[in-house]
Structure 1
Amino acid sequence: MKTLYLSATIVGTLVPWIFFGGFLAAHGISLPLFVAEVFATKPASGIAVDLLICCVVFWIWSWRDAKETNVRGWWLTVPAVWLVGLSLALPLYLWLREDAREGERGLPPT
């Protein structure tokens, strides 16, 4: 599973940044314009709000889960969401969680 999560982390970073890169190339770093475009239509707004809610729920769950399962590096999910999105943060956390589980079972890291 660690390999799957790591692969998803890489894909979840690169694919969104293909789109972000196009925006940055065309407009530079313009947070107001970026937010305006994210919320430009009602369907886009619905998707954006849905993802924001998912991010908050993910942070609450993963913070608690990290404490219970001794996941180191949980805090990396916070900048991961803001710099890329849930497509990076979720598989990253699951990879970190698998790493912690392997440590509990005494397995060598993969």
Structure 2
Amino acid sequence: MKRLYLSFCLLGTILPLIPFLTWLRENGFALNLFLSEIAASRISQFAWLDVVVSAAALFSFALHERRKHSLKYAWIPIIATLSVGVSLGLPLLLLMLEIQRNPRPAEQTSA
């Protein structure tokens, strides 16, 4: 599962950033244009609201895991979500949980 989650982290970073960086190159940091394009159609509103609710659920889950199961660095998936999106934050959180719950066995040393 660790490799699968890591693969999703890579895809979840690269795939959304390609169109976003292209948009930034074409439009610069035009916040008003960005917000108007978010609200431009019902389908874009649907997508953005879906992402916002998913991000809130991810933040809640990460903070819960930090308190209940002592997940170290629970803030990292939150920062990843805020900087890239849920497409990175969620698989990163799942990867961190998998690593914590199933640590790699110690390498056997040859004598």
Q: Which category describes the TM-score, using the shorter chain as reference length?
A: 0.7 to 0.9
Take 1:64 and 1:31, find their aligned partners in 2: how far apart are those partners? 33
Take 1:84 and 1:10, find their aligned partners in 2: how far apart are those partners? 11
Take 1:79 and 1:30, find their aligned partners in 2: how far apart are those partners? 23
Matching of residues 62-101 of structure 1 within 5 Å? 62-101=62-101
Q: CA RMSD in A?
A: 1.8
Take 2:106 and 2:70, find their aligned partners in 1: how far apart are those partners? 17
CA apart distance, 1:108: 4.1
| Counterpart residue identity of residue 65, structure 2 | D
Take 2:38 and 2:79, find their aligned partners in 1: how far apart are those partners? 19
Match for residue 58 of structure 1?
58
* TM-score, structure 2 normalization: 0.86
The alignment of Structure 1 onto Structure 2 pairs a total of residues equal to 107
Instruction: Extract unaligned runs of 5+ from structure 1.
Output: none
Take 2:3 and 2:50, find their aligned partners in 1: how far apart are those partners? 28
Take 1:107 and 1:29, find their aligned partners in 2: how far apart are those partners? 47
* TM-score, structure 1 normalization: 0.86
CA apart distance, 1:40: 1.3
Contact 1:6 1:95 survives alignment (8 Å): yes
Instruction: Extract unaligned runs of 5+ from structure 2.
Output: none
Quote the sequence identity (%): 29
Match for residue 48 of structure 1?
48
Contact 1:9 1:88 survives alignment (8 Å): yes
- Higher CA-based Rg: 2
CA apart distance, 1:31: 2.7
More helix by share: 1
Q: 2:105 aligns with which of 91, 104, 107?
A: 107
